[in-house]
Amino acid sequence: MLSIRDLSVGVDDKTILRHLNLEVRAGEVHAVMGPNGSGKSTLAQALAGHPAYTVLGGEVTYLGQNLLAMPAEARARAGVFLAFQYPIEIAGVSNAAFLKAGLNEIRAARGQEELDAMEVLELLEQKLALVEMDRSFLNRPVNEGFSGGEKKRNEILQMAVLEPKLAILDETDSGLDIDALKIVAQGVNRLRRPDNAIILVTHYQRILQYVEPDHVHVLFDGHIVKSAGKELALELERKGYDWIKDEAAAA
């Protein structure tokens, strides 16, 4: 589904990702872990098409298309979804209006009929239950006045509504209490299907107790230095990241 080859990405004249390689197949959940500053968020943002991140080299193929040539909105319409680490507050735009606008763009790209306000509302109400948010969230301005946990749940709500093929979750677990974490994890597990894939970018192993990954990668100094099964996450939890740094330095 997603094939990242030799990807280098910079921001503000600083190279962050260096020759990164990653293969993600449909039906898989990949955890990308790593210490702070290793390039995890850069990878997430670059895949979503943030214009501040400059691709310096390499290629990314997504469902046979050259992902890097697509503007952010085309990626979203093709099924790529990024759950933001720091969701943006949008004054004066209700969550419902925001979701309706995005959903109808994506539906149009899929060749589906636009949904009207009532139909969107019905869909949203079903999805709200999934993240245990109440109806009032729909009328509130996007993320404005939301707690940290509410913002993250709102990202999962958007994911549930937009039904992406490739979901990238950028530290969606950070700053969540255990109840919110379970809700987020449950939302992610609902999305898990043989025909889509999930990349969980995380600092901690905690969420992986609830969302079991097929592969765990360690990102350090801009590229993946170690890949293994879910047992690697537990090892990182026990030993921290220093041994990875030492290994990388020795290599």
Binding site for other proteins (CB under 8 A): 48-52, 71-73, 75-77, 81-82, 84, 87-88, 90-94, 96-98, 100-106, 108-109, 114, 116-117, 120-121, 141, 158, 162
Q: For residue 20, which phi and psi values (nearest 5 degrees)? A: -85, 140
Q: How far is the CB of 148 from other proteins (least distance, A)?
A: 17
Task: Find, among 43, 46, 90, 41, the residue nearest to 67 by Cα.
Answer: 46
Q: How far is the CB of 209 from other proteins (least distance, A)?
A: 28
3-state helix, strand, coil in the chain (%, to 5): 40, 25, 35
In the chain, which ranges are E strands?
Answer: 2-11, 14-24, 29-33, 53-62, 65-66, 80-83, 166-170, 197-202, 215-220, 223-228
Q: Counting every residue, how long is the chain? A: 251
Q: Which is nearer to other proteins, 26 or 70 (CB)?
A: 70
Task: Find, among 99, 103, 130, the residue nearest to 114 by Cα.
Answer: 103
Q: How far is the CB of 135 from other proteins (least distance, A)?
A: 14
Q: Which is nearer to other proteins, 50 or 230 (CB)?
A: 50
Q: Which is nearer to other proteins, 24 or 168 (CB)?
A: 168
Q: How far is the CB of 118 from other proteins (least distance, A)?
A: 10
Q: Which is nearer to other proteins, 91 or 250 (CB)?
A: 91
Q: For residue 59, which phi and psi values (nearest 5 degrees)? A: -145, 155
Q: Which is nearer to other proteins, 92 or 145 (CB)?
A: 92
Q: How far is the CB of 192 from other proteins (least distance, A)?
A: 21
Alpha helices in 5-71 (DSSP H): 40-48
